[in-house]
A and B are shown apart, each in its own frame.
Chain A
Amino acid sequence: MYRIGIDTGGTNTDVVLTDVETGRIFYTKTPTTPKELLRGINNGINKIVGECHIDHQDIKELIYGTTIVVNMIAQKESEATALITTKGFKDVLEIGRAYRNENIYDINMEKPEPLVKRNLRFEASERMNFLGDVLQPVNEQEVLEIIKSLKYRNIRAVAVCLMHSYANPKHEIQIKEMIEREWPDVYVSISSEIIPQFREYERTSTTVINAYMMPNMASHILDFKKEMEISRVSANCYMMQGNAGIMTFDAALSKPVSVSESGPIAGIIAANYMSRLIGEKNIITLDMGGTSADVALIQNNIMRFTTESNVEGYPISIPTVDLSFIGAGGGSIAWCDAGGALKVGPISAGAEPGPVCYGKGGIKPTVTDANLVTGRIRPEIFEENLDNAMDKTSAAIKEYIANPLGIDTLKAAEGIIDVVNSNMIRAIKFVSVQKGYDPRDFALVAFGGAGGLHAGKLAEDLEIPRVIIPYSPGTFCALGLVLSDIKCDRVHSRLLTREQINSDLLNEIYISLDKQGIDELDKQDVAEDNRVLIRTCDMRYFGQAFEISVPMPFKHLDNHDIEDMIEKFHNLHEQAYGHCMKEDPIEFVNYRVSALGTFTKPDLMENAKRISFKGNKERATGTAVFGGKAYQVSVINRDSLNIGDKIIGPAIIAEMGATSVVYPNHTAEIDELKNIVMYTNINV
């Protein structure tokens, strides 16, 4: 049985095919075709099917990772969406939280333009209070008028978000049913189905994004299915979500917002899966590509989630993997400012024109160029003939960086790397130190085209003992797709103090959430044996505004369990903020269940054992500069490395689409999964 993962990035579409029974894994890449995504996807499928000599019909499961939602929102590429709110609040979407969160001194700042314009926002007379009591019933006549006027306006989707609908969804359901009855052709999304959780702006924003994406997602999925039919692929199709799980295409139709933050997720899934296999419980992942880097922290092989993410500045409050993003990648451009400081990014040379060394017309020096000049990227790995690459690149660094700063070119090149590293260290600290975790207790798992170039130095600076670079780091995200499970999240929002809560109430809430999760798994055809339910509860001290997620046992709960959770909460609070207040009252806020439908995974160990690399063992040597000093380095072809091989730094390991650097004083070893494991050899 074959499972295929397709990850469409900005430049390349990565494809991974796995034979689930034997554990064999195949990788390939084709160029992304931005104008007609499906053509690139089809090319990728055809290519890998050809390379593996299988039939299209042998593919039984297809998992699709896509940035289509982000792209469409960024380019405002959707048809008109309307919004219905409680009377008095149609402007909440535009007002937002109304503060400057980027640069407080920047008087030229703008708010993101609302996805639903003011003339498409409507108000319905109705009101709930926070307890879910009806203060004013829905004025149906008024709603009918709204629906009638919407019909004339070329609307494709309607979002409905009413005050306190998380406490009682009755009115939202009532309006949804009216719309469906009066106008069956329009897409409807109500907030109590998307994210029944308090904080109206974030809930409205999430629901609006969902409605906004529904028509496009529907046509995209329809096209996708048609295309697959033509290619005679009859697989069950799934899509990656921001919550680190996948869902069927049918589920994606009604909840496209889940897909919005999914871009960097598959790589984190792969990193976590792989780490579990080799016994690394605590990892920080670093995915560094051409234009950006994503960092996430995983403790005890459990990912951390946030409900405060955003897409293109629009808040999303469904759970997504907690990660920190910086606009620093291989293509980031280095520059000197008027005060004489060296800056890197956020402008990127992108794929076109790209770094100077690619010879495609780039003139400003980038991080990749600095890595080339310092000898860390080897010119011989470029596919094109780049005779002049080194000269041209050095000249660019000299002109734009070294001369203005009055330093030599090599120093300037190393400086570019140091500065981009300091940006990444801030991102790593953001997910670790700032959340109460000490990076020294973690291993750094680095991938993406540029991850392996920087990881060793970052680890050394953060006193992280080990760095792990997986095989084929450039296609690692696609691997994550075939290692994923189905996941759906359900939440109930109800604020209860310790006095107000008891085990009966808690059981009632969780049993209802469990059932919702199971119903969803039923819909997605998950077999009974493959179902896992995970419960958590968001708690805080009474009076606080931010919650901490506390794990809940999956069992019939008694008072002892409640006391247990409270104890856990105190500990987590202390870890996160440095203090806890045991005598203070505690508040239970959100109750969550994640329902998983697990898949059989390919055996990565078997796969690694099976393939004995026969690449050219011969090690070239070259010169590379570290800390202002020139070193003789061996340049190793990754395909020549086998389990157990040891490397003493400094050394450069090159493979298709990626380079890894073993820094001076570091050592490395090839583990049983054919990962490069680097040791920073820091004495702490």
Chain B
Amino acid sequence: MSNAILLEVVNNALRSVAEQMSATMVRSSYSTIVKEMMDCSSAIFDDQGRLLSEGANVPIHLNCLGPCLNTVLTNYFSRDQMNPGDLILTNHPYAGGKSLGSHHTKDLIMIAPVFSDDKKLIAFSVTMLHHKDVGGVWTGDSWTVEIWQEGFLMEPVKLYDRGIRNEALWNVILNNTRNPRDMKGDLMAQISACNIGIKGFREIVNKYGIDLVNGVVEDLLNYSEKLTRNEIRLIKDGRYVHEEKVLDDGFAGGPYTLKLTVIVEGDNITFDYTGTDKQIRGPINSPLSATISATYYTMRCITNAHIPTNQGCHRPITVIAPEGTLVNCSMPIGCFQRMVTDHILVDLIMGAMAQAIPSKVMADSCGTNYDFCSGTNLETHPRGGEINHRQYWGEIVPGGLGARSHSDGVTIMACHVTNCPIPPLEAQEIEAPMLFIERSILPDSEGAGKYRSGFAQRRKWKLVGYDGIFSHVSQKSKIAPQGLFGGMPGETSKWIINEGKENEKVLDYAMGDVIFLEYGDTITCITASGGGYGDPFERDMDKVKEDVEMGLVSVVNAKQKYGVAIDPITFALDHKESINLRMAER
């Protein structure tokens, strides 16, 4: 077979293995965030630690396994210290001294070396799974400052040594979680997935021979590199600067600045985050590995989404992130909510690149949004038999996405670096003492534009249990998602406890510490939407009319935001009046 052909054939085989690894974890796991939201990933690396293929759903996890594997090989176990049957486990964000380990303590990374029939180390089969609880202050997402508050820490250690499980370690792990049964089940799922990777890669090698596979791997990496460089060459050389804010509502001393300079030179691209604020006393700091993941992700979005993902895609990219900043935090600062920062990194890159490749970027999106709660009700939810009878629920709440250069943004959709499906409402009510009151599209929440953003979500539920412990995380509650090229900003996010009741309370900040809830308390979450793209007065009038007919845009806003006159009863479009509106001074 010629290489062009073998390339595609081996690439297909490698993809198949990684997909199977991830599917096994999703379908057999216990943790809600994995089973319903697919928060896990898997990858195959060659013996040099170069990424060959990945199976993942959540972009922030892509590429996070590579830096961690490299950290393990450099600082903990060299290749000759690994044996068939070993399984290395870690969750330490600062393993090896830099923030190039796991992204946060709940992500347990498991590494299995793959050996050939003649006992040569030929690859690594690696999985990551978001576990439900690893100890720490609370199960949910509370305000933490130091890494020890975020759960137990485990530098890379052999859970299995030559096929024998380290029982003492196993017990220590299970002793340090509030949900030992779930953790055990999820670790089993991870082990199975690693074994599938070992078996799958060995089959490929046995079929084609290790030399041929190595040759193809080199070609595969070069191939992805070449495609990526082709894309970079299409971007005009130059320096593109942009800034975004986190903790825009002033929480914990915010807002803080994230700054980026993108330097495009020929077929190389540098993302320099110099100028970004120092790390803060809080959990939103991004480990370097997460910053790299978010950068690689966005790079793919704005170039070519169909390049096979491997190390080759990364070769033309340099990331500069000064240590001790929000984008490269240092021990022992908390980093549990690094997603708050990582989401903004996507908007940051898009914003910078809008100057260079306006047709390939999108306006700001809703960013991160999630809640997590636990409660008890032995009458309705006696099942489960966890130690404290608590039931847990939560969701990564999708909002509106930014508008694109040729189309409207998507309404209520998993945002950029998180890509978790929402769990069924009915499944959540079956599992936990809570009752949904609403999940709907929020009208008039879009960032107007020639192309408008997607609409935000309104989601409301009630605690029908006791001892509620609730935590919430969102962003963009003061500075709305920004539009591009004349597009308007979108809706800001908001949390309300007991909306419409006497004791209604709008939460002061988009995130914070846990809140204790009583039976019957309701939580309303309004997500952010996205920014528009282009001047709203250039929007196709029929599209405005359609949004009005669908109850998404009010007649008043059609007029004010878009300069389109629509009859409130018949929804007829008044062309003449609309043209007048659009011609008038604004």
Contacts and interface: CB of A to CB of B under 8 A. Distances in A.
B301 A105 contact: yes
A262 to B, nearest CB: 26
Given A88-B438, A99-B413, A198-B426, A577 B35 contact: no
A95 B441 contact: yes
Contacts of B200: 433
A209 to B, nearest CB: 18
A584 B183 CA distance: 12
Contacts of A351: none
B300 A95 contact: no
Given A100-B414, A198-B426, A342-B4, A89 B440 contact: yes
A426 B57 CA distance: 19
A99 B419 contact: yes
Contacts of B95: none
B226 A339 contact: yes
Contact of B2 (A94, A198, A405): A405
A89 B439 CA distance: 6
A544 B30 CA distance: 5
B78 to A, nearest CB: 29
A579 B192 contact: yes
Interface string A541-582: 111111000000000000000000000000001001111010
A515 interface: no
A497 B191 contact: no
A47 interface: no
Contact of B28 (A103, A111, A546): A546
Contacts of A97: 421-422
A89 to B, nearest CB: 6
Given A95-B422, A429-B16, A546 B35 contact: yes
Nearest to B179: A543
B475 interface: no
A119 interface: yes
B425 A163 contact: yes
Contact of A545 (B35, B412, B426): B35
B430 interface: yes
A118 interface: yes
Interface string B191-231: 11001100010000001000000000000000110110010
A72 interface: no
Nearest to A429: B16
B439 A92 contact: yes
A109 B410 CA distance: 8
Nearest to B441: A91
Interface stretch (A388-396, A417-425, A598-606): A417-425
Contact of A198 (B13, B422, B430): B430
B27 interface: yes
Contacts of B385: 585
A577 B20 contact: no
A545 B426 CA distance: 12
Contacts of B16: 425-426, 429-430, 433-434
A553 B38 CA distance: 34
B15 interface: yes
Given A105-B59, A339-B227, A425-B13, A163 B426 contact: yes
B419 A100 contact: yes
B4 A407 contact: yes
Nearest to A419: B8
A176 B224 CA distance: 56
Contacts of B266: none
B457 interface: yes
B27 to A, nearest CB: 4
Given A99-B414, A578-B196, A584-B185, A340 B12 contact: no
Interface residues of B, number: 90
Interface stretch (B133-141, B169-177, B548-556, B578-586): B548-556
Interface string B27-41: 111101001101000
A577 B223 contact: no
A119 B549 contact: yes
Nearest to B383: A497
A74 interface: no
Interface in A95-139: 95, 97-101, 103-111, 117-119, 129-131, 135
B290 interface: no
| Shortest beta-carbon contacts, A-B, top 9 | A545-B35, A578-B192, A105-B305, A88-B438, A415-B5, A543-B30, A97-B421, A422-B9, A105-B300
Interface of A: 88-92, 94-95, 97-101, 103-111, 117-119, 129-131, 135, 163-164, 198-202, 336-343, 405, 407, 411, 414-415, 418-419, 421-423, 425-426, 429-430, 433-434, 461, 495, 497, 500, 541-546, 573, 576-579, 581, 584-585
Given A341-B4, A433-B200, A543-B384, 18 more contacts: A88-B437, A88-B440, A89-B425, A98-B398, A105-B59, A105-B301, A107-B404, A111-B410, A129-B380, A129-B429, A200-B424, A341-B11, A418-B8, A433-B20, A500-B383, A543-B30, A546-B26, A579-B192
Interface of B: 1-2, 4-5, 7-9, 11-13, 15-16, 19-20, 23-24, 26-30, 32, 35-36, 38, 56-57, 59, 62, 181-182, 184-185, 188-189, 191-192, 195-196, 200, 207, 223-224, 226-227, 230, 297, 300-302, 305-307, 362, 380, 383-385, 398, 404, 407, 410-414, 419-427, 429-430, 435-441, 457, 460, 549-552
17 contacts: A95-B441, A98-B414, A101-B421, A110-B410, A111-B411, A130-B430, A198-B426, A199-B427, A340-B226, A419-B5, A433-B200, A434-B19, A545-B427, A546-B28, A576-B27, A578-B192, A579-B189
